[in-house]
Amino acid sequence: MAAVILVCSQNAELYLLLAHILRSEGFEAHLAVNDDDVVDACASGELSAVILDCAAWLSDVAPLCQLLKDSGLPVGALIGENTRTQHLQLIKAGLDEGIARPLSPSKLLAFLQGISSRSEVSPLPNCAAAAEIVFATHAVVVSGKRIALSPMEMRILKFLLERQGQISTRAQLIEAVWPDPCAVESRTVDVHIGRLRKAFSGLSNLRIRTVYGAGYALECHDL
């Protein structure tokens, strides 16, 4: 069964283009043209992810992004030159991916295929000796505790785990994790790291350490 992607846009030509791209890669596109359409689509329980067209949406996209994240859905946003001021607000609302316009189909598909690849539970052996970590759909299980994470945060965590104990600079994280590194600022990395820390705040065996002037390092400890 094809994964259903909700496209939130009032630009008919853009929707037709996205629907064609998605169909060619095995996805099914559904259209939402207002907030009520989005609410109805979320209630259907059929969605796998959402693409927000910031330039062609009349209402504020940040509360809409928060609604979608509260529904447990990965959210990507098409960010144009005149909508970049919304980017940080969207990140704070839980945005998983900002995709710069003009649209690059490869970057859009990298986001969606990344979601698909995480639909299967997979252990990460590098950290097995220190803390049992298993990646599942929209969550990780750490020493038996399930923690909900966005796809972007899961990619950041996986990168840090692969470099466990090493310092990862913001530039390294941006280059390795984001499909469009040129559109990402250092502050964006800090926001996502802050959200990861909040998610792991109840765990004593997993910590993201700030190395001032350098970057971040993930530390795993035995229980």
pLDDT given for residue 29 in this prediction: 95
Kindly list the distances between the CA atom of residue 158 and the CA atoms of 2, 126, 141, 173, in Å, as whole numbers in the listed order: 26, 10, 13, 11
Q: Cα–Cα distance between 158 and 171 in angstroms, integer?
A: 16
Q: Which two tokens stand for residue 143?
A: 């020493």
**Residue ranges of the chain with pLDDT lower than 70?**
1, 83-85, 115-132, 137, 221-223
Kindly list the distances between the CA atom of residue 153 and the CA atoms of 31, 106, 162, 176, 194, in Å, as whole numbers in the listed order: 27, 20, 14, 13, 10
Q: Are 91 and 116 in contact (CB under 8 A)?
A: no
pLDDT given for residue 137 in this prediction: 67
pLDDT digit string, tens, across residues 74-104: 899 998 777 666 788 888 888 888 888 888 8
Kindly list the distances between the CA atom of residue 126 and the CA atoms of 22, 41, 167, in Å, as whole numbers in the listed order: 34, 39, 16
Strands 122-123 and 133-136: antiparallel
Q: Residue 213: which region, alpha, beta or left (left: phi > 0; alpha: psi -120 to 50)?
A: left
Question: Residues with Cβ < 8 Å from 176, sequence gap 6 or more?
Answer: 159
Question: Residues with Cβ < 8 Å from 151, sequence gap 6 or more?
Answer: 74, 96, 97, 111, 114, 115, 118, 138
74 exposure class (CB count in 10 Å sphere: 0-12, 13-18, 19+): buried
Q: Cα–Cα distance between 3 and 30 in angstroms, integer?
A: 11
pLDDT given for residue 113 in this prediction: 78
Q: Which two tokens stand for residue 132?
A: 């049992």
- Residues in the chain, overall count: 223
Q: Are 42 and 73 in contact (CB under 8 A)?
A: yes
Look up residue 57 and give its amino acid. Answer: W
Give Cα 214 to chain centroid, integer Å.
Answer: 24
